[in-house]
Amino acid sequence: MKRRDFLKSTTALAASTMVTAPAIWSAAKAQSRAETILVVSESGPNNVDIHGVGTNVPGYEVAWNCYDRLISHEMKTLPNGTQYYERDKFKPELAEDMNPGDMSVTFKLRKDATFQDGTPVKAQDVKWSLDRAVSVGGFPTFQMGAGSMEKPEQFVVVDDHTIRVDYLRKDRLTIPDLAVIVPCVMNSGLVKKNATEKDPWGLEYTKQNVSGSGAYRVVSWTPGTEVTLERNDNWKLGPLPKTKRIVWRMVPSAGNRRALLERGDADISYELPNKDFVELKEQGKLNVVSTPFSNGITYLGMNVTKAPFDNPKVRQAVAYAVPYQKIVDAVLYGLASPMFGAPAGKATDVAWPQPTKYNTDIAKAKALMAEAGYPNGFETTLSFDLGFGTVNEPLAVLIQESLGQIGIKTTINKVPGANFRTELNKKVMPLYINVFSGWLDYPEYFFIWCYHGKNSVFNTMSYQSKEMDAMIDAAGAAASAGDTANYEKNVKGFVDLAFTDMPRIPIFQPYSNVAMQKNVSGYQYWFHRRLDYRALVKA
C-alpha cells in the first residue's frame, strides 16, 4: 500500500506595560538572525522526553519536533486561513505504508530513515519504543491504553523494516493514538547504552538528551532560560524545513515578551495576556491567530475524596459562585468560548466540550452551602500553574473574590510550572485551576482521561462512579462497533452525570493565541497546541 492507498485507508479508519525589553540580536549576528526564528514564552520544558515523569506541556514541543512517529495527520485550511490538523486523515511519517487487517495493522518502514547520530531506524527500535511507552507507567502508559495498546506482546517485529501492532480489541482510537506524541520512536541502542539496572528504560538519560530521528535536534538547553534547536539536515521524512535554527527563550515578563515582538526582535509568542493579543490584532503590525482548543476546557477542579468537596452540594454551590462572564470579559477579553449558561430547557448534545446550565447565582450558592452544612463557609487553598500565570493568576483572583461572597475563604497557591504536573498527580490539592485538552477529539476520549475511575493521571479529582465508568466504556465500544444509537445515548448520559456530580467545573474553552511577525508563515494548529517548527517559514 503506497502513499495514495495509505491515505485512503487511514481516512476510512477513523507594550501597554511600557517595559523596556532586553536586546537580543546584534548587527554581527544578522546573517544568523535571518536563518533563525526566535520564540519567546512564559515557561519552558522541564524534560525533553515525553515518557518522562512529570514532563510538562512545553516539554511536548521539544518531543514533537525532535522525534518521529509511524504516522501523522494531514492538514486542512480553515475559513480564516489557519492550517489545522485533520482528525481522521493520516499520512506516513516513519511508515511508508500501512496495511490494516481485522485484528492488527502492519507498517512498512522507510529504509532511508536514520536517527540523528546516523543509525538506521529499524523495526526493533519501533518495538522497543512502543514497549517502553506501555511499560513506564503514568501518563504515557495510560495514553497508549486509551487506544487499547497495553502489552509489549502487541508489538511484533516481522523483519527489520516491518512492524505489526496486534489489537487486544477493536477500538477506533488505536490508529489515531499512534499519531500522538507518546508513540515516538527512539534510538533504542543509544538509550540502552545509557540505561541502568535501576533505570532500565534510560529515563534519566533521555530527560536531557534527545535520541530521535526528528527534523530538529537540541544543541543547547538551559532549563528555565533557553532552548536552542537546529535543523537535522539528514531528515528525509518530508520537505526539509526552511528554518535552520529555533531559539526558544523563556521571558517571564509578559510586558517584555510583547515589547520584543513589537520591536521586531522576537518572531513568535503564544503566551501573552489576552488583552495584548486583542490590542496587537487591532494594531495590525503582527499576525495574530486565535483557535479554540480542540476537545479542551479550563476548569475548576475539586478533590472529591475529602471534606468539604466530598459533598456534591458544596461542589454545586461553588459552580454557582464562579464569576463566569467576568472571567470571559476581564481576563480573556472575549478570546474564549463560554462553557456555562446553556438554556435550562436545552437538550444535552452528543459533543464535547459543551456548556453547562450553570450561571453565576450567589443566592443559590449560599442556599446550597447552608444545605450542605456550611452556612458560614470554610477555608481552603486555590492552586494554579504559575507557568501559565498570565491567565491563571487573574482568573484565581476573580474566583477567590467570588467564593468569598459565599463564605469560602481561599489562600492562593502559585505552583511553579516545572512542578505543577507532579503536584497535581499527588491529588492533595483541594481546589485548583487547570486546563485539559484531549489529543484525540472524541467525547469518550476526554472522559476516559478525566472522569473514568481507572485513570490515575488526569482524573485529578479522584472521582469514582461505576455508572460513569460503564457509560464511558459503553460509548467507546459502541463507537468501535458503529452503533450510533448506543453511542449517542451513552455520551449524553456521561455528560449529564458529570454536570450533576460536578467534580470539576467547566469555565471556558480556551483559545490558542499566537502572535507572529508578518514575515513568518506556516503556523499550524495541532491537537497538542505547541509549535511545529517543520512548517514555519521566515521570509
Cis before residue 353, ω within 30 degrees of 0?
A: yes
- Res 60: pLDDT: 96
pLDDT for position 74: 97
**HSE-CB of 194 using CA atoms within 13 angstroms:** 15
pLDDT at 8 over 80: no
Report residue 33's pLDDT band, with 50, 70 and 90 as the boundaries: confident
Same domain? For 415 and 330 the reply is yes
**Does residue 273 lie in a domain region?**
no
Q: Is the pLDDT of residue 156 over 80?
A: yes
The answer on 398 and 325 residing in a single domain is yes
Q: In sequence order, what are the residues at sequence separation of 6 or more whose Cβ sits closer than 8 angstroms to the Cβ of residue 67? A: 50, 181, 184, 185, 186, 210, 212, 213, 214
Q: Does 242 share its domain with 324?
A: no
**Is 272 within the bounds of a domain?**
no
Q: Which residue range forms the structural domain that includes residue 245?
A: 3-9+30-251+517-538
Within 10 A of 107 (CB to CB), how many other CB atoms are there?
A: 24
Give the mean model confidence (pLDDT) for residues 212-217.
98
What is the CATH number for 193? Answer: 3.40.190.10
Residue 314 and residue 191 in one domain: no
For residues 455 and 332, membership in a common domain is answered with yes
Nearest CA-CA partner of 412 in 434, 435, 381, 387: 381
Residue 126 falls inside a structural domain: yes
Same domain (yes/no): 367, 494: yes
Q: What is the CATH number of the domain that holds 357?
A: 3.10.105.10
For residue range 228-257, what is the model confidence (pLDDT) as tens digits? 999 999 999 999 999 999 999 999 999 999
In this predicted structure, the answer to whether residue 456 has a pLDDT above a threshold of 90 is: no
Instruction: Answer yes or no: do 445 and 521 share one domain.
Output: no
Q: What is the pLDDT of residue 29?
A: 58
Average pLDDT over residues 100-123: 97
pLDDT at 15: 35
Cis upstream peptide for 308 (omega within 30°): yes
Looking at the structure, do residues 180 and 222 belong to the same domain, yes or no?
A: yes
Is the same domain home to 477 and 522?
no
- Average of per-residue pLDDT across 368-386: 98
Please give the Cα distance from 231 to 258 (Å, whole number): 27
pTM: 0.89
Residue 259 inside a domain? The answer is no
Which pLDDT score is estimated for 23? 53
Q: Let me know: does 527 contact 293? Beta carbons within 8 Å.
A: no
| Tally of domains within the chain | 2
Average pLDDT in the chain: 93
pLDDT at 199 over 90: yes
Interval 13-31: pLDDT, tens: 443 333 445 555 554 455 6
The pLDDT score that the predictor gives to residue 5 is 56
**Continuous segment of H or E residues that includes residue 143:** helix 138-146
Q: What's the pLDDT score for residue 27? A: 44
Residue 22 lies in a domain: no
Does a structural domain hold residue 17? no
- What's the pLDDT score for residue 4? 52
Task: Give pLDDT, residue 407.
Answer: 98
Find the mean pLDDT for residues 119-123: 98
* pLDDT recorded at residue 481: 95
Which pLDDT does position 19 carry in this prediction? Answer: 41
Rounded Cα distance, 539 and 518, in Å: 9
Q: Where are the alpha helices (DSSP H) in 267-307?
A: 274-283
Reported as a single tens digit per residue, the pLDDT across 264-321 is: 999 999 889 999 999 999 999 999 999 999 999 999 999 999 999 999 999 999 999 9
What does the pLDDT look like over 70-82, one tens digit per residue?
Answer: 999 999 999 989 9
- Note whether 214 and 348 are same-domain residues: no
465 pLDDT more than 50: yes
Copy the grid coordinates of residue 32. 544568523
pLDDT of residue 14: 43
**In this predicted structure, what is the pLDDT of residue 22?**
54
Distance, in Å, from the CA atom of 316 to the CA atom of 312, rounded to the nearest integer, reads 6
| 531 assigned to some structural domain | yes
Report the pLDDT averaged over residues 511-531. Answer: 97
Give the model's pLDDT for residue 24.
54
Report pLDDT digits (tens) over 318-365.
Answer: 999 999 999 999 999 999 999 999 999 999 999 999 999 999 999 999
Do 47 and 114 lie in one domain? The reply is yes
What share of the chain has pLDDT > 90, as a percent? 90
The verdict on 353 and 423 lying in the same domain is yes
pLDDT score at 31: 60
Helices 484-501 and 466-481 cross at an angle (nearest 10°) of: 150
Whether the per-residue pLDDT at 183 is higher than 80: the answer is: yes
Q: What is the SS3 assignment for 535?
A: helix
* 24 within domain boundaries: no
